[in-house]
Structure 1
Amino acid sequence: MSDVLTGLLTNKDVLLDPEGRVLWRLKERHRKLQEQSVQKLITSEKLLSLVTEGCVQQKLDHFNAQDTRTFRQRFLVNEKHWQRPSGPVFLFIGGEGPISVYDVVAGHHVDLAKDHGALLLALEHRFYGDSVTPDALKTETLVHLSSQQALVDLSVFHQFISSRYNLSRANTWISFGGSYSGALSAWFRGKFPHLVYGAVASSAPVKAKLDFSEYSQIVGSSLQNEDIGGSVKCVAEVQKAFSVLEAELMTGDSSGVARDFNCCQDLKNEDDKVELVQSLADIFMGTVQYNEEGVLMPVRELCALMTNTSGRYSSYERLVKVTQVYRSGSGQGHCLDVSHEAIVKELMDTTRERGGQRQWMYQTCAEFGFYQTCEGSSCPFSGMVTLSTYTRLCSELFGMSQNALLQHIAFTNAYYGADEPRASRVLYVNGGVDPWHALSVIRDGTEERGETVFITDTAHCADMSNRRSSDRRSLREARQEIGRRVSSWLKMAALNST
């Protein structure tokens, strides 16, 4: 099939990251684009000079009094908007990656800090970024990487900041976070309600689940959502393309497929073929998850490519074209490494602390699951990506069986309440396009059971970004509603403290 594509493929450079984890790379790109979007503002207003960086000493194991080992946890402070001495404290909780200056100088929570005279803080998650020990990635040390330990880190940090800045009950704390850190924001309020008065949890997957098949289902429904440029035809073409791809891999010339997608090597075995399929599916998943956030192309453009019948190209050939567009937009200039053996080797490397992939893989195995399978009839991609694709990695990397994974997930949901939380004054914000909303709280809440904002036509964590003229009306209204909720909490706290 490669010969047919001679006229379509004009660039010999390649496409995806060498680890084959496109979604992870897109998440990092999303972060960089956010930072770049406010770089001029940071420079012009000399905001860097207003940010203080420091470290707080944390116990490696908060739950073992006999273990005296510690590590240094990084944090950032911005006092520019703080109205001393009684102004509130807005805490941005770090997730599965390093924190940056962006977290205390830009974003919707920073806009709210300006309105309310708040002290801005950001705390990096243990074992990510620079908040690591020398042997952090060894499996025997990773046992101390958990959301439970992270919440106690937050409580220690609360005490540390309160002492350093001479804070009192008059300084109301509100926590903010998105995605995994959004879940941490909700859980911090639930487990330490005496420390944080209210919490905003954006795109927060608070329900752990081993087989997260809903992710692919929502990607499929979003690809046919006409409000964001999708169509039934788009999904049909995507399914057709992956069906042809799967047939070629199973019964045809897999070496020709490897050439079509410019793989670094021939597809040696079934695992390599699954890695290829997952990498290509990730492009569509990332397009939906970050729709209109500038990371890749929006759903409208992707579907226009997949449904373009002006040329003589088949759906499979248009899939190749999509990967070309991804390559040119993401700046990837190397071949696509789909070697399962190489990917496992990378994930077993215990010297690459800052990347975060091994740490996050451990957390999914030890607490959450979140494995994005695609085995049902509604799958828009390929059924080759099964649950065992992921659970085998838990066994290979950390020696965890699937039965152990099920036990870990059951504990997580019992400990936090899954999608039926019991904490008050937690605002769950979700986008209807975002596949992660399936594991969050999206129903209408009550004061006793939390509150919700659902934005039908926006994607992952869109509400957390800076305001843009291109923002949808629904997103602008959602930010206004978030602002009203935060204002009401602060007024309530002021009344309670008098």
Structure 2
Amino acid sequence: MFFSPANCLILLLVLNFTDAGRILRKIKERVRNLQLQEAKQHLQKQTVSGRQPLQHVKEGRIHQQLDHFNRQDVSTFPQRFFVNEAYWQRPHGPVFLFIGGEGPIFEFDVLAGHHVDMAEENGALLLALEHRFYGDSINPDGLKTENLAHLSSQQALADLAVFQHYISQNFNLSHKNTWISFGGSYSGALSAWFRKNFPHLVYGAVASSAPVKAKLDFSAYSNIVGLSLTNKAVGGSEKCLAGVREAFAAVEALMSGNASQVAMDFGCCTIPKNLDDQIELMQNLADIVMGTVQYNEEGVLMSINELCGVMTNTSKAYEKEMEAYNRLVKLAKIYHSTSDEPCLDISHEKTVKDMMDTSLPLGRRAERQWTYQTCTEFGFCGVDPWKELSVVQDRTEDGEEAQTIFIRDTAHCADMMSRKVTDRCSLKKAREEIEKHVVSWLKMAAAGED
């Protein structure tokens, strides 16, 4: 990757995300729902104070070419976007583009978030573009395997370029309107790649928790999870990590001789009799730990401090040789207490069946599309906070400079949320750094136009 030092910011966090198992996907959905709830509350407060930002939001569709790299194919699909003109200082105010990733976008993506805060402060036009084949931006037969061939990051980047031209024409924009792109996780990588591939269209890019490197066997994720569990700043310890390792070893040992007992202890829907189902069970239990690490203090499950409290608490209620195992059982019960699922589904056959469902996403699910993308483009096999695939130094492997902000004690893409009084000092400082970069880009762009 090449990153212009003046025009691109790669924002990297310790904790990131993956879509490895059912539970982790559900935790991710909870995080997104919580963010939407917070955005609604923020909007309600503005409405009470007499402001009506929702009135300035418009939803639209652009008919994108299905294959940008085949001129003979004239097929198109409708791509959804949102526009918020509430803060735009016409006619030369900047444009802030929120890039959608592996899921649907919402009107709140142009109403709340750190990029929205900065848009208000800098008089920017706010845009959000949904990724092809996710949310509502998909044709009725789009999930059939032969059609998924048009689902790729390269096609998505071409979508962004076409969308930039479309908006520029419809809003009579010129070179005086400076574009800044924003994204987190996969869409953070798209933000960085958009700036790299189309520097004449976007002046600067903020890429939060961006996995810009592809890697087939990405087992390094587990190492980062382990390191996070030992981080004293967030409540971790070496004892906590040792307890987690011991617990999983105990599950594996017991499952080989008494799978029915394991199924009963962890509330499984079925007994994991074959290897595939046993792997599903282990993956889902691992998801509880990984989801905790990824989202830590986001309020959707438990924090690392709380998890480690369970895994290191000495209790006479447990027999010594089964103590770690029973602590993991307790963690699973904590998860189930926050879930509406009657039991833990560990059927690998059902997982495969769900992945083969080509009907339009019910509730805008994205498992099939994202699995296809990761398998065909990125790898990501294994599980991971994506720090290992991000740029964490101020110089890339190619020697190009890259501006980085490394936040040591927060969660995945937490910087993208609006400011809160309860935010950690490191998160507040990171946002201040982002704001300084964005303001400096806008000043440099304006100076270049004089």
Equivalent residue in structure 2 for 1:117, among 113, 123, 132:
123
Contact 2:259 2:273 in 1 (8 A): no
TM-score, normalised by the number of residues in structure 2: 0.91
Supply the distance in 2 between the matched residues of 1:372 and 1:109 (Cα, whole angstroms): 32
Aligned amino acid, residue 39 of structure 2: V
Equivalent residue in structure 1 for 2:285, among 261, 280, 283:
280
Task: Name the residue aligned to 1:426.
Answer: none
Supply the distance in 2 between the matched residues of 1:345 and 1:323 (Cα, whole angstroms): 25
Task: Name the residue aligned to 1:347.
Answer: 355
Tell me, what secondary structure is at the counterpart of 1:449? Answer: coil
Gaps of 5+ in 2: 1-19
Please state how far the C-alpha of 1:41 moved relative to its aligned partner.
2.4
Tell me, what secondary structure is at the counterpart of 1:267? Answer: coil
Q: How does 1:420-435 map to 2 (within 5 A)?
A: 435=385
Please state how far the C-alpha of 1:458 moved relative to its aligned partner.
1.6
Task: Name the residue aligned to 1:388.
Answer: none
Task: Name the residue aligned to 2:4.
Answer: none
Q: Does 1:471 align with 2:423?
A: yes
Runs of 4+ residues deviating >3 angstroms: 445-448
Task: Name the residue aligned to 2:230.
Answer: 224
Q: Note closer, same or farther for the CA distance 1:445–1:112 as it changes in structure 2 (3 Å cut).
A: farther
Q: How does 1:226-375 map to 2 (within 5 A)?
A: 226-250=232-256, 252-313=257-318, 314-329=323-338, 331-353=339-361, 354-372=364-382
Contact 2:140 2:360 in 1 (8 A): no
Aligned amino acid, residue 102 of structure 2: E
Please give the per-residue CA displacement for 1:43-99, whole angstroms capped at 9, x wherever unaligned: 342432221000001000000011111000000011111000000000000000000
Contact 1:290 1:459 in 2 (8 A): yes
Task: Name the residue aligned to 1:91.
Answer: 97
Equivalent residue in structure 2 for 1:200, among 195, 206, 209:
206
Gaps of 5+ in 1: 1-18, 374-433
Supply the distance in 1 between the matched residues of 2:90 and 2:249 (Cα, whole angstroms): 62
Please state how far the C-alpha of 1:333 moved relative to its aligned partner.
2.9
Contact 1:30 1:293 in 2 (8 A): yes
Tell me, what secondary structure is at the counterpart of 2:147? Answer: helix
Please give the per-residue CA displacement for 1:447-487, whole angstroms capped at 9, x wherever unaligned: 95321001111221111111111111111001000000011
Please state how far the C-alpha of 1:231 moved relative to its aligned partner.
0.7
Aligned amino acid, residue 439 of structure 1: L
Supply the distance in 2 between the matched residues of 1:360 and 1:352 (Cα, whole angstroms): 14
Tell me, what secondary structure is at the counterpart of 1:92? Answer: strand
Higher mean Cα deviation, 459-468 or 127-136? Answer: 459-468
Task: Name the residue aligned to 2:394.
Answer: 444
Contact 1:445 1:452 in 2 (8 A): no
Q: Does 1:55 align with 2:61?
A: yes
Supply the distance in 1 between the matched residues of 2:66 and 2:196 (Cα, whole angstroms): 23
- Over the aligned positions, Cα root-mean-square deviation in angstroms equals 1.4
Higher mean Cα deviation, 84-93 or 444-453? Answer: 444-453
Q: How does 1:116-195 map to 2 (within 5 A)?
A: 116-195=122-201
Aligned residues: 418
Contact 1:146 1:363 in 2 (8 A): yes
Supply the distance in 1 between the matched residues of 2:200 and 2:394 (Cα, whole angstroms): 25
Supply the distance in 1 between the matched residues of 2:108 and 2:310 (Cα, whole angstroms): 34
Supply the distance in 2 between the matched residues of 1:238 and 1:184 (Cα, whole angstroms): 35
Please state how far the C-alpha of 1:229 moved relative to its aligned partner.
0.1
Please state how far the C-alpha of 1:102 moved relative to its aligned partner.
1.8
Task: Name the residue aligned to 2:441.
Answer: 489
Supply the distance in 2 between the matched residues of 1:53 and 1:352 (Cα, whole angstroms): 21
Tell me, what secondary structure is at the counterpart of 2:30? Answer: helix
Q: Note closer, same or farther for the CA distance 1:461–1:202 as it changes in structure 2 (3 Å cut).
A: same
Q: How high is the sequence identity, in percent, across the aligned residues?
A: 63
Aligned amino acid, residue 345 of structure 1: K
Aligned amino acid, residue 135 of structure 2: G
Supply the distance in 2 between the matched residues of 1:291 and 1:222 (Cα, whole angstroms): 10
Aligned amino acid, residue 96 of structure 1: E
Tell me, what secondary structure is at the counterpart of 1:139? Answer: coil
Aligned amino acid, residue 101 of structure 1: E
